[in-house]
Amino acid sequence: MRQNSIITLTDHNKEEIEKLKIQKEKTIKDYEEKKLSLQNNLIQKQNMLNKVKAEIEEMSEYKELKQKQLEEIEQLEHEIIEARREQTKIISELRAEFIKEKTEHKKEADNRIAAIVKIANREARECLSENTFKIKMENQQLRRELFELIEQTKIINAQKEKLEKQKLELMSEIKYAEDLKKVRSTHQQRVMEKLNSLN
């Protein structure tokens, strides 16, 4: 009867640990999909900006059209900055949510592992003479699962470092866009001055 109790308890906890693993994988997948969607949106706006710039260079002789397209560039640049800002915000929120869920999963897993170990040890003391080998094998399995959870934590920490790196890259891109806008503004002013001097 004690053997059946140990088997049932161990199977139940294995199922719970497997559910935790599946939930963690789903969280990571959802995060990757959201991040990819944001990146695609940003690339699309950047492509639109490049297209408008090319059109302006080809039709620079038409002053009114040039002015209109310059305004479109400014608007697109503003949209890109806003998109990057929103992407940074969303990534930050996703990262915070990911860390929160990771912490909750780890805490729940730790509690379950602690409960499994406690129950296994108590049952081992009660029926040591008849179940020594069986309990030893179960404890080895628990240690393997614990090691797997530790390895998963390392992977999650690596993902965290990757997010930090992406954040720094985004901030660098935003600064580059702002610097580019300043340079372009100075260039446009010089062009307008030359056009005025010709008139």
Query: Residue 110: inside a domain, yes or no?
Result: yes
Q: Is residue 20 part of a domain?
A: no
pLDDT digits (tens, 9 = 90+) for 60-104: 556 666 677 778 878 877 877 887 888 788 778 878 887 887 788
Distance CA 178, CA 9 (A): 60
6 inside domain:
no
Residue at 85 is within a domain: yes
pLDDT of residue 61: 59
Q: What is the pTM of this model?
A: 0.32
Q: Would residue 21 count as lying in a domain?
A: no
119-170 residue pLDDT tens: 877 776 776 666 667 767 777 888 888 888 888 888 888 888 888 888 888 8
Q: Residue 101: its pLDDT value, please? A: 78
Burial 144-182 (b: 16+ CB within 10 A, else e): ebbeebeebeeebeebeeebeebeeebeebbeebeeebe
Domain that residue 173 falls in: 30-198
Q: What is the number of structural domains in the chain?
A: 1
